[in-house]
């Protein structure tokens, strides 16, 4: 009996007319970002020339300064600047023998060996090299050979 009396001395006495205080725990709210696995490199998709034997890529219409992003995450394999052919161009290695080329850029904003995601801004659309008007020339290559980009890009 003495043990019970001593044990009750350690139990807090809460008056019956006082309500217990409610504790609210809130979780920190962090923004959620969805990263696409595969995407078109331009915000607006307007194809002016498709893939063919004589044109190994897609031409996407736009205006100088439009943002260009990679179709898939990877590593920048090469950045080239030329007054001929592809003009300012970026080549990205996506692994599994798949690469993508972005040509005729007015501005390149990344460097060789840089890791990129689908959120990375590679550069801006332009008309450098052998281009007739603002556009992006996009090539998808497997083992270095151009393939139809529709085999990779979402429809």
- What confidence category does residue 17 fall into, taking pLDDT thresholds of 50, 70 and 90? low
- Domain housing 70: 47-151
Residue at 28 is within a domain:
no
Please determine, for residue 67, whether its predicted confidence score (pLDDT) is greater than 60. yes
Residue at 84 is within a domain:
yes
What mean pLDDT comes out for the span 39-66?
Answer: 96
Residue at 30 is within a domain:
no
**Domain total for the chain?**
1
- What confidence category does residue 69 fall into, taking pLDDT thresholds of 50, 70 and 90? very high
3-state secondary structure 40-59: CCCCCCCEEECCCCCCCCEE
CATH code at position 120: 2.70.70.10
Residue at 20 is within a domain:
no
| pLDDT tens per residue across span 105-127 | 999 999 999 999 999 999 999 99
What mean pLDDT comes out for the span 45-55?
Answer: 95
Residue at 91 is within a domain:
yes
Kindly report the pTM of this predicted structure: 0.78
Residue at 78 is within a domain:
yes
Three-state secondary-structure class, residue 66:
coil
Residue at 7 is within a domain:
no
Residue at 73 is within a domain:
yes
- Average model confidence (pLDDT) across the chain: 88
Question: Among 134, 132, 117, which Cα is nearest to 35's?
Answer: 117
What mean pLDDT comes out for the span 90-114?
Answer: 97
Give the per-residue pLDDT at 111: 97
Please determine, for residue 18, whether its predicted confidence score (pLDDT) is greater than 90. no
Give the per-residue pLDDT at 34: 67
Three-state secondary-structure class, residue 5:
helix
Place of tokens 């007015």: 106
């Amino acid at each position: 009996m003495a043990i019970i009396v001593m044990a009750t001395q350690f139990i807090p006495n809460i008056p019956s007319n006082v309500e217990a205080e409610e504790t609210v725990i809130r979780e920190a709210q962090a923004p959620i970002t969805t990263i696409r696995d595969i995407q078109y490199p331009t915000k607006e998709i307007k194809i002016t020339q498709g893939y063919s034997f004589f044109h190994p890529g897609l031409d996407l219409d736009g205006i100088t300064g439009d943002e260009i992003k990679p179709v898939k995450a990877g590593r920048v394999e090469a950045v080239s600047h030329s007054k001929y052919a592809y003009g300012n161009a970026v080549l990205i290695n996506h692994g599994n023998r798949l690469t993508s080329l972005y040509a005729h850029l007015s501005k390149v904003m990344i460097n060789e060996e840089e890791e990129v995601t689908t959120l990375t801004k590679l550069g801006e659309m332009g008309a450098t090299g052998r281009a007739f008007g603002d556009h992006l020339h996009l090539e998808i290559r497997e083992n270095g050979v151009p393939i139809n980009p529709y085999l990779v890009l979402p429809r």
